[in-house]
């Protein structure tokens, strides 16, 4: 359900996750996340097990595929370093 992923439920949405991909569109989104106590208290935030990406990934086609692969590659590298 979409309400699970609302800002008020970010801790529940991330429960049990080993890592996360965060797609942000502007600096306001980053500031909002950085001031959300549910995010800052999460294990993912404290261990920095996330990749932030600001590339527009809803364009479709090969450009989007390459951007998404870069995101996944960055996250995989972080997981490899952590293990």
What is the pLDDT at residue 57? Answer: 66
List, for residues 1-49, the tens digit of each pLDDT value: 566 667 777 778 788 888 888 777 677 877 888 888 888 888 888 887 8
What is the pLDDT at residue 4? Answer: 65
Per-residue confidence band for 55, with pLDDT thresholds at 50, 70 and 90: low
Structure tokens that stand for 32 in this block: 């909002």
Q: Is 17 left (phi over 0), alpha (psi -120 to 50) or beta?
A: beta
Q: What is the largest CA-CA distance in the chain?
A: 37
5: DSSP letter:
G
Of 53 and 34, the structure prediction assigns the larger pLDDT to 34
What is the pLDDT at residue 5? Answer: 67
């Amino acid at each position: 359900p979409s309400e699970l992923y609302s800002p008020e439920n970010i801790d529940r949405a991330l429960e049990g996750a080993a890592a996360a991909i965060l797609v942000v569109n502007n600096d306001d989104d980053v500031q909002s996340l950085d001031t959300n106590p549910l995010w800052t208290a999460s294990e993912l935030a404290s261990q920095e097990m996330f990749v932030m990406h600001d590339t527009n990934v809803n364009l479709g086609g090969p450009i989007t595929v390459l951007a998404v692969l870069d995101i996944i590659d960055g996250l995989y590298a972080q997981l490899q370093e952590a293990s």
